[in-house]
Amino acid sequence: MTSTLKYLCLIVLCGLPAFTSAQKVPLNQEELVSYLDQELSGESAKRNLEYITRLHRMRGSDDYNKAIAFISEKLTEYNLEGVAVIKIPADGKLMYGTHKTRPAWNVKFAELWEQQNEGGVWTNKSKIADYESIPMVVAQDSKSGEVATELVDIGSGSSESDYENKNIEGKLVLTSSQPGSIADLAINKYKAAGIISYAQNQPSAWHGEDENLIRWGHFDYFADINSFAFMVSLKQARAFQNRLNKGEQIRLFAYVETETKPTDWDLLTAVIKGTDEGKEEILLTCHLDHPRPGANDNASGCAAILEVARSLKKLIDEERIERPKRTIRFLWSPEIEGTKILLNYDPEFAKRTKFNIHMDMVGGGLETKGVYQVSRGPMSLPSFINDIGESFGMFLNYSSLAYASGSKTEYPMVSKEGGKEPLQAIIGNFSMGSDFEVFTEASFQIPSIYLHQYPDRYIHTNYDAPGNIDPTILKRSAFIGAASAYYLADFNSKDVPALLEQMKQDLIRRSYEMLGFSSALNAEEQANCKYYFWEQELQAFNSIKPYAVIPSKIEKEYKTFLKDLMTTIGAGKPLQHIENTNLKIYSRKEGLKGGMLSFGYDYFKDHYGKNKPAPKIFSYHAIRGSGSEYGYEILNRVNGKNSVSDIRNMVSAEFGPIPMTLVSEYLEALESIGVVYVTKK
């Protein structure tokens, strides 16, 4: 048994971490790390964030465009190259791949008052909510409206029983649900004049705990709803309910003035030119759109990649680091839908982009309860970029812990105005929920890493404020992004030996994690999990070859290392389904690029039909995957080669076992709407 395998056995038996050098700079990047530690400023990033959070950055809105103008001005000040705005038409009808655009939406004015009867005349008595103070009080895609009427409590408002023995026609209704989820019943069927929602913050350990939070509300733009909604706190809703339960009449006056119009969506970009003149690009992304204040989500990502741009360009201009071979590009756009539209609108942009580093919620301090994560791409797209991001993330974990513990460390990576706590990032999981999933989708196959914090108790509420942002976390996020981007932009054959040594360490750690995951499975599923794990690791190794020459001796050594691990742990084999084997093979429709889900538009639901029962996979949960992850990866695995049984085994190895029937049903549903077609029965 080799020393490496003995070490692995020690890890497996004792649960020890797979790294012995706590503060060793990864990938021989000592000089780069030193310069970045000196130059990156969490304080500078936070100052930029503070301005962005003043703006109500709805898609295509006036405030969104003001944010674009501000960042553009900063990029020019920082001497970035190629600063430009990409304008893409959006009118509510245009399709780009699997996404239908939504036009711009602006709020001009909105107020909600309680009225009092004075001498037979109803007058405004006390203001409940107004757009000027807290823009989030107006649910997104509300229409203009004016009404003075009674308030009726309908509970959740999600079922017919909530409306029994209640006359709500022309009234305002109080509900615990999101406006869009009950609009068809409350507005269209029972003729309510508008909605007052106290929907609580997203499910987490802190769900509903703070009665002062006001949550971001939504209507479905493409639904036929001609009304408005105000969002209020749980505290306000309880005050209303106490009075209504005593038989008191509450009369409210609501006035909303909004504007929806076709527009050009503005996507801002800038570059640090590479010596190869843009033939290949490394792309850093974030999403700019969000209700005010939207500090962690996602002014933090916007400010962090802006700080990456400033710092790298300054270091290059001062000749402390060399201009890299590949161009480093930065992009600010609307979340998910902006990315999907761009990659379809400009195919050459997608072809030039070789790797993506995405940041969404990367600055939350202790108050947010955020858990930092350096996430990898899906198993359907193995790549060495995962090892790059994870190595810098793990390095920060150790160096920041050493600093917090009072030990000597060369690079604590802290800001003078920030915290000193250890990062404690979760390294290497796959997590959906932002733009990077568009890049890694099978239509584009751009390997990505995803920096984010979740859970966050203030996400999508008016308490997601600059005061909860920690400059140290911003600096650390910018460090991982800058170090990863520059390394990838300049990566060549000389970097291969150090990279493969890093990948060996990471492989030991991932092997240990895979064994922990598979230990909950039966013997056949364990073997299936191991088989696809090793297949993914070999493909990740092969992903280096388009970018660097791997000497035959080094390649042989790495594959021997991999084979030894396989022998020790078990190579595994795909699960053999005897009775439920499905050898049908699907291919994807050419030209229809993009996944099924996106913010603001659901391609699957729009084409499959809202009244048909949804495929059961959408409500399925397993060890580490839910319906959205399964659906995402099932479609990614459709390639004209994988059978339904193959796909079932692949997603089971990634997320946990799933019945073959659910995979078949979903693929048949995709076939029925023309997304995939059968190439072999």
Structural domains in the chain plus CATH codes? 3-12+494-569 (no CATH), 18-101+263-492 (3.40.630.10), 105-261 (3.50.30.30), 585-680 (no CATH)
* Cα–Cα dist 9/15, whole Å: 10
Mean pLDDT, to the nearest integer, of 600-609?
93
Segment 33-52 shows an average pLDDT of: 98
Residues in CB range of 643: below 8 A, 6 or more apart: 582, 583, 584, 585
Rg, Å, the chain Cα set: 26
Identify whether the C-beta of residue 217 lies closer than 8 Å to the C-beta of residue 205. Answer: no
Alpha carbon distance 452, 287 (integer Å):
12
Which of these, 600, 610, 520, 552, lies nearest to 260 by C-alpha position? 600
pLDDT, position 622? 87
The mean predicted confidence, pLDDT, of the chain is: 94
Indicate the SS3 state at residue 621.
Answer: strand
210, 288, 176, 139: which is closest to 458 by C-alpha?
210
Other Cβ atoms within 10 Å of 368 Cβ, number: 26
Closest by Cα among 588, 442, 565, 460 to 507: 565
When pLDDT is averaged across residues 453-474 and rounded to a whole number, the result is: 97
* pLDDT exceeds cutoff 70 at 5: no
Share of the chain above pLDDT 90, in %: 90
DSSP annotation string for 512-545: HHHHHHHTTS-HHHHHHHHHHHHHHHHHHHHTTT
pLDDT in tens, 623-657: 888 899 999 999 999 999 999 999 999 999 999 99
> Whole-model pTM?
0.95
Which sign, positive or negative, has the C-alpha torsion 420, 425, 431, 436?
positive
Q: What is the pLDDT of residues 528-582, one digit of tens each?
A: 999 999 999 999 999 999 999 999 999 999 999 999 999 999 999 988 865 667 8
600 within 8 A of 141, measured Cβ to Cβ? no
Q: pLDDT tens for residues 99-108?
A: 999 999 999 9
At 4, is the pLDDT very low, low, confident or very high (cuts 50, 70, 90)? very low
- Is the Cβ–Cβ distance between 232 and 196 less than 8 Å? yes
The pLDDT, as a whole number, for residue 681 is 78
Question: Is the sign of the CA dihedral 303, 271, 436, 668 positive or negative?
Answer: positive
Q: What is the pLDDT of residue 579?
A: 60
pLDDT single digits (tens) 350-368: 999 999 999 999 999 999 9
| pLDDT top residue among 476 and 19 | 476
Q: For the chain, what percent of residues have pLDDT higher than 70?
A: 96
Tens digits of residue pLDDT in 110-146: 999 999 999 889 999 999 999 999 999 999 999 999 9
Question: CA 142 to CA 531: how far, in whole Å?
Answer: 51
**Residue 13, pLDDT score:** 41
Cα gap 303→620, rounded to integer Å: 37
Q: Which of 192-201, 418-427, 597-606 has the lowest mean pLDDT?
A: 597-606
β-strand partners of 469: 364
- H-type alpha helices, 405-522: 436-440, 471-490, 496-518
Cβ pair 570, 653 in contact under 8 A: no
pLDDT given for residue 575 in this prediction = 85
